[in-house]
Chain A
Amino acid sequence: MQLTTPELKKYDSVFPGENWFFYWKTSPSLWESKIQSYNDVSPIFVPVYWGLHNENPEQFDFGTNRPETDLKRILDIAQNCRKEIVLILPLGPSPFFTSGGLPSFLAQSLAHDSTGKVLAVVDNEKRINKLFSYYDPRVFQAFRKFTWHLGQFLSQNGFNKELFGADFGYLENNDFKSYFEDYSGAFLKGFHRYLAQLEKSEPQKIENLISTPAYENVLKNDYAKLIKSLYIDSAKETIAANWSGALRFCCLGGKPNDIFSRSHEKWEVQGHYIRTLFEILVNGLLPSSFLLPESVRTNVLQKALKDVVSQSLVQAHLNNELYDEELHTSFQPQVFFKVFSKNSTMEEVSLKYFFDREYQWMYRIFSQDFHYEQDYEDIEKVHFFFGEKLELTEFNQILKLFLNGGRVFLDKHKLSPELSKRLNLFLTENSIETESINYLTPLLKASLGDGLLIAYDSEKLKEQSLVKRVGFWETMTKFLKLNTCALDIDEGIMYIWKNRCSNTYELNYEEIRRISFYNPTSYKKKATIRSSQNYAYLKTLDEVSVEVRSTPVGIDIDLMPGASVSIDFGYFE
């Protein structure tokens, strides 16, 4: 376990961010020294550059003809240096490759966004990479061929390490948008072929389309998912021995409209990237900064990236396990709330507004269904569910969570009559203590040991003013005894809380909590951490251009432009 964060390295475009190694950006003769020097990260992500290894339709080069394609050399170097390597196979356009990674003989149908603009991204060397559509059938056929040859190469060379498929994208309105998604002519042509097939296989859907034109968007989504799954299934099949799953990488500076800001130096703002970094984290995605150039990567952004995109976060995404023994001892972003949301109710009842104000970055939003497993690690987090679109299977999982001591907020608005009955029956049959009150909305509070279930009606809440809605959530979270520190911070200061288990020397405390501040602005700023009876100051670390003072009120911090600092507290209840 490290006591301080590692020293920030000088920027090298071969290592453009986090765990990435861009082998095509340097001579093969330098690969060994580069990989040897790449410390403090594990594993090293090596994205497979399709366009480099497959320059002609029938030629697949993994080192036979050109040394810069020698993947085996990279794998051998990694083995000799005892570095863990993970191959990353893009399953769609990749923003850091020319033409999104497609071989030149396939780069024909440009991808378009929903406004008709060509999808283009600025990379870390300020080059503009135009992305091409993966809906072109020739692209899929060539992809299948390429992955087959890649699978053969890996098998013949005894490479038994993990290979992950990668879906690169960006965050927009708290939604992950994949670069695979496009609105090009190739997509539309493919979609019309899909409709023609549906006419024969599922004519009802075509009838729905005729009667409800808006249904076209549903069918377009279905078609897009189908094509995406073809790529994933193809890779799974052809590289079965190494296939370890698909990952989503969320690119900082990679939104289609970022091309405008990133082309104008005065427009590109660091604070924006730090905020986006935290938003990506909140949405349970893996951030990647490989598109950001050296000029933007000043100390404060670098520090934020190092703090947030820790090796434990990377491992968690690879292994799909949030915590294991090793991870428990390292700092993780502090999360109090998990929100399972498939609609915009969270915004409409000002829950997101409340979280952003009082528990900034301490929540996670999930669009997929909740599933309760034995030894569920996040039992202590507060879970939010919404009745609309809730199905029986997921509902039963929610009840299991409650029975096992979980704390649940359930929005009963648009909860199906069947599930409403089921809830009442569940509470009665298990003789669970309940209380009903009316506080802006009819509230039902059920408790069973550590388990807490609060059911409310969001429709009633929506009728209230913002102040009342926020007051409602303040009152609700008081039940939960989350014991945070009050902060007074100047506008523009970014901060994030992290926590880890206490070690044998820290047994006085339940856990150790760390707050890290960043000042990406050009002005001197101030932050104050108000004293709390649950927090014992331990130490200040990683100070860059700050002055930290203890006062009767708490801790005052003066942050100069570009400053950053972390402060550790022992937490006890």
Chain B
Amino acid sequence: MNKDINVLYQFTDSPEGSNYKVLQLFSDEGPLPEKLINSVLRSFDEKTGGDIQFTSIEQLGRFCIELLKESSGAEAFLLSVQDYNIGLESCNNTESFKELFRRYGTSIQNPDSNIKKNSLLSKIFN
């Protein structure tokens, strides 16, 4: 089962500051469970007002890493609306759409899966 997470965000810049608002948060199985999202959000100070939004891309990236750790996903793909629109130009059907985040998104690895992989490899080769 593919547990990779796809994140679509909208970036806005205003005199009040930058804002990264999550528009879609899903895996192949469907939208991420609210319970999972809320448990991760608790550790963030951002005042969301009901939406999932951050003031920096680093915070958004950290949020994705925490989600990956909680859900044991291997990788997250972060895609802005601008890049989504660019990628969509080359999508004619749902098969190509499924690859949109992987092809055009920024990849974030789950650091825990790398550690586990390394320890497994070290067990085999040592």
Q: Which residues does A use to contact B, with CB under 8 Å?
A: 110, 115-118, 120, 122, 126-128, 130, 257, 259-264, 266-267
Contact = CB atoms under 8 A, between A and B. Distances in A.
Given A116-B81, A117-B85, A263-B98, A128 B29 contact: no
Given A115-B10, A115-B81, A264-B98, A130 B88 contact: yes
Nearest to A128: B91
A264 B28 contact: yes
Q: List the 7 closest A-B pairs by CB distance, nearest first.
A: A263-B94, A267-B30, A263-B97, A126-B94, A116-B81, A118-B85, A127-B93
20 contacts: A110-B85, A115-B23, A116-B81, A116-B82, A116-B85, A117-B81, A118-B84, A120-B88, A120-B91, A126-B93, A128-B91, A128-B92, A128-B94, A130-B88, A257-B24, A259-B97, A260-B26, A264-B28, A264-B30, A267-B28
Given A115-B81, A118-B85, A120-B88, A261 B93 contact: no
A261 B27 CA distance: 10
Contacts of B91: 120, 128
Interface in B18-38: 23-24, 26, 28-31
B94 to A, nearest CB: 4
Given A115-B10, A128-B93, A263-B97, 4 more contacts: A127-B92, A267-B26, A267-B29, A267-B31
B30 A116 contact: no
Contacts of A257: 24
Contacts of A266: 28-30
A111 to B, nearest CB: 11
Given A264-B28, A266-B29, A267-B30, A116 B10 contact: yes
Contacts of B29: 264, 266-267
Contact of A118 (B88, B92, B94): B88
Contacts of B81: 115-117
A256 to B, nearest CB: 10
A435 to B, nearest CB: 43
A294 to B, nearest CB: 14
B94 A122 contact: yes
B94 A262 contact: yes
Interface in B66-93: 81-82, 84-85, 88, 91-93
Contacts of A116: 10, 81-82, 85
A182 to B, nearest CB: 13
A104 to B, nearest CB: 14
A258 to B, nearest CB: 11
B24 A128 contact: no
Contacts of B26: 260, 264, 267
Given A117-B85, A266-B30, A260 B10 contact: no
A260 B28 CA distance: 10
A272 B46 CA distance: 32
Nearest to A261: B30
Contacts of A110: 85
A266 B84 CA distance: 22
Contacts of A259: 97
A436 B98 CA distance: 62
A130 B93 CA distance: 11
Nearest to B91: A128
Nearest to A257: B24
A419 to B, nearest CB: 36
Contacts of A127: 92-94
A278 to B, nearest CB: 22
A120 B30 CA distance: 19
A543 to B, nearest CB: 32
From A120, A130, A263, residue with most partner B Cβ within 10 Å: A263
Nearest to A130: B88
Contacts of B28: 264, 266-267
A257 B24 CA distance: 9
Contacts of B31: 267
Contacts of B10: 115-116
B46 to A, nearest CB: 19
A118 B8 CA distance: 13
Contacts of A263: 94, 97-98
B26 to A, nearest CB: 6
A125 to B, nearest CB: 8
A110 B84 CA distance: 13
A212 B85 CA distance: 32
Contacts of A260: 24, 26
B28 to A, nearest CB: 6
Contacts of A130: 88
A267 B26 CA distance: 10
Interface string B94-107: 11111000000000
Contacts of A126: 93-95
A262 to B, nearest CB: 7
Nearest to A267: B30
From B30, B81, B94, residue with most partner A Cβ within 10 Å: B94
A128 B84 CA distance: 14
A394 B96 CA distance: 52
B77 to A, nearest CB: 13
A117 B92 CA distance: 16
Contacts of A115: 10, 23, 81
A563 to B, nearest CB: 24
Contacts of A261: 30
